[in-house]
Amino acid sequence: MEKQTFSIPNISCGHCVMTIKNELAELAGISKVDGDPESKRVTVEWDAPATVDKIKEALKEINYPAA
């Protein structure tokens, strides 16, 4: 299992975090998504076939690109 924390400047509230959680949960291999609107960070845990690139691409598609 891999784990990484992404800095996402567009996060402004808990709703933003829920949107990110819901979207990333649809990716195959994602096992856990935690976010904090105050620090503007999201931590993601995953296994294959998910990858950092796929996660970043999904974030970009929903207008929450990782910094």
Calculate mean pLDDT across residues 38-47. 97
Does residue 41 belong to any structural domain of this protein?
Answer: yes
Range of the domain at 45: 2-61
CATH code, 14: 3.30.70.100
Q: At 17, is the pLDDT very low, low, confident or very high (cuts 50, 70, 90)? A: very high
Q: At 4, is the pLDDT very low, low, confident or very high (cuts 50, 70, 90)? A: very high
Instruction: Report DSSP state, residue 13.
Output: S
Does residue 57 belong to any structural domain of this protein?
Answer: yes
Domains in the chain, number: 1
- Specify the pTM: 0.94
Does residue 11 belong to any structural domain of this protein?
Answer: yes
User: Whole-angstrom Cα distance, residue 20 to residue 36?
Assistant: 11
pLDDT confidence of residue 48 = 96
Beta bridge partners of 4: 44
